[in-house]
């Protein structure tokens, strides 16, 4: 496949970029973290989104190198913002296979040390699929990451093969409700009911709940009303190029 060799080359040739999308505390209005989202600036294809190449990278064993690059780049960026006076946190998406790499926890620790960022300022977003493929091992890795001091988030609740059994025993700090429910909740009564139920479910587990895909003010107000902790979505901010982040953080919103 041309895509595969192009991806290897792209990594060497530094063709990947990160954008950052804020997660905002609904009660305090404060940014709780900035999620790093990868894009590929291919000279021929133009800007390619992760949905196109992450699944390929997972299949051909490139995903760990990519995640390594994302961790290094986002933590270095976090340090640069810190040096400018912004003590923000970053969130990094971790693909299922990467969680099961033997040296993943050591790698995370090394990247934090290199950047000089305290572990609690890094959140790792993990989908349920990562846990389901080998629950016993995933649980050990999550406990090791927890012991290291990084925050853990379960991504896309409701989109995959959820198991409440695992959700209950995972050592995580927050759960993100999948945007497919949140995006429609202003118009679709069932989606509103599902989001309400998921917010209550996550709170019953004593975890923080994030709604992603907040696209209008009505949804934000509704989430506030039902006690959702944190929101993320185009209405708050699109994913931002890194140089726009300090200005966005400083502007009133
Ligand atoms: O940013 P966008 O909506 O195009 O992201 C599409 C998908 O790609 C999302 O599911 C997102 O979690 C995933 N994604 C974005 N950046 C990364 C990354 O750095 N690593 C992994 N594993 N997935 C990512
Ligand atoms: O799977 P994950 O949750 O990481 O997916 C994040 C993806 O969702 C990113 O590609 C991001 O661009 C996209 N996204 C973020 N906010 C919104 C939104 O409000 N609406 C829509 N449609 N997509 C969003
Ligand atoms: Na995510
Ligand atoms: Mn998500």
Q: With a 6 A CB cut-off, is 191 part of the ligand 2 pocket?
A: no
CATH number 3.50.50.60 is the correct assignment for the domain at 2-250: no
- Among 4-8, 85-89, 175-179, 193-197, which stretch is predicted with the lowest mean pLDDT? 4-8
Q: Which ligand minimizes its atom distance to the CA of 185?
A: 2
Give the strand pairing for 174-177 and 208-212: parallel
Residue 74's nearest CA partner among 62, 66, 84, 63 is: 66
Q: Given the CA of residue 155, which atom of ligand 2 is nearest to it? A: 3
CB-hemisphere CA count at 13 Å for 47? 7
- The DSSP secondary structure of 224-239, one letter per residue, reads HHTT--EEESTTT---
Q: Given the CA of residue 125, which atom of ligand 1 is nearest to it? A: 12
Looking at residue 154, its pLDDT comes to 95
**Has residue 119 got a pLDDT over 80?**
yes
Share of the chain above pLDDT 70, in %: 98
Q: Which two tokens stand for residue 92?
A: 């990094």
Each domain of the chain, given as residue ranges in start order, spans: 2-250
Q: Which ligand minimizes its atom distance to the CA of 176?
A: 4
- Ligand 1 cavity residues, CB under 6 Å: 36-38, 49-51, 54, 70, 93, 95, 239
Instruction: Round to whole Å and give the CA distance between 125 and 154.
Output: 6
State pTM to two decimals.
Answer: 0.97
What is the rounded average pLDDT of the residues 104-113? 98
Write down the mean pLDDT value for the chain. 94
pLDDT in tens, 57-73: 999 999 999 999 999 99
Q: With a 6 A CB cut-off, is 239 part of the ligand 2 pocket?
A: yes
If you take atom 8 of ligand 1, which residue's CA is the nearest one?
Answer: 50
Q: How far is CA 186 from CA 78, 195, 216, 237, in A?
A: 34, 11, 9, 19
What is the rounded average pLDDT of the residues 187-210? 97
Residue to mutate (ligand 2; options 234, 235, 237, 238; most atoms within 8 A of CB): 234
Q: Which two tokens stand for residue 252?
A: 């009133």
Place of tokens 């530094």: 14
C-alpha of residue 37 to centroid of ligand 2, in Å: 9
Give the pLDDT band (50/70/90) at residue 89: very high
C-alpha of residue 136 to centroid of ligand 3, in Å: 23
Give the pLDDT band (50/70/90) at residue 164: confident
Q: With a 6 A CB cut-off, is 155 part of the ligand 2 pocket?
A: yes
Instruction: Round to whole Å and give the CA distance between 248 and 250.
Output: 5
- What is the CB neighbour count within 10 angstroms for residue 217? 11
Place of tokens 């994302």: 70
C-alpha of residue 245 to centroid of ligand 2, in Å: 17
pLDDT in tens, 133-151: 888 999 999 999 999 999 9
Distance of CA 91 to the CA centre of its chain: 5
Instruction: Round to whole Å and give the CA distance between 247 and 49.
Output: 25
Looking at residue 118, its pLDDT comes to 97
CB-hemisphere CA count at 13 Å for 142? 25
Q: With a 6 A CB cut-off, is 153 part of the ligand 2 pocket?
A: no
Instruction: Round to whole Å and give the CA distance between 155 and 142.
Output: 14
């Amino acid at each position: 496949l041309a895509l595969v060799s192009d991806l290897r080359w792209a990594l060497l040739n530094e063709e990947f970029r990160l954008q950052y999308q804020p997660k905002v505390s609904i009660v305090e209005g404060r940014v709780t973290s900035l999620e790093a989202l990868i894009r590929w600036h291919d000279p021929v294809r133009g800007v390619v989104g992760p949905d196109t190449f992450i699944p390929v990278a997972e299949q051909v064993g490139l995903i760990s190198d990519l995640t390594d690059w994302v961790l290094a780049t986002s933590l270095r960026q976090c340090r640069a913002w810190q040096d400018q006076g912004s003590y923000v946190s970053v969130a990094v998406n971790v693909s299922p296979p990467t969680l099961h790499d033997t040296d993943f926890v050591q790698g995370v620790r090394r990247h934090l040390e290199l950047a000089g960022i305290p572990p609690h300022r890094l959140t790792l977003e993990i989908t349920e699929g990562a846990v389901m493929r080998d629950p016993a091992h995933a649980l050990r890795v999550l406990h090791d990451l927890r012991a290291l001091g990084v925050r853990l988030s379960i991504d896309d609740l409701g989109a995959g093969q959820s198991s409440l059994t695992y959700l209950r025993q995972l050592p995580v700090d927050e759960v993100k409700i999948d945007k497919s429910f949140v995006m429609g909740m202003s118009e679709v009564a069932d989606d509103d009911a599902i989001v309400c139920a998921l917010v209550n479910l996550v709170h019953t587990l004593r975890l923080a709940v994030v709604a992603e895909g907040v696209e209008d003010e009505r949804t934000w107000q509704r989430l506030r009303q039902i006690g959702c902790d944190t929101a993320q979505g185009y209405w708050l901010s699109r994913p931002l190029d890194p140089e726009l982040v300090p200005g966005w953080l400083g502007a009133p919103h």
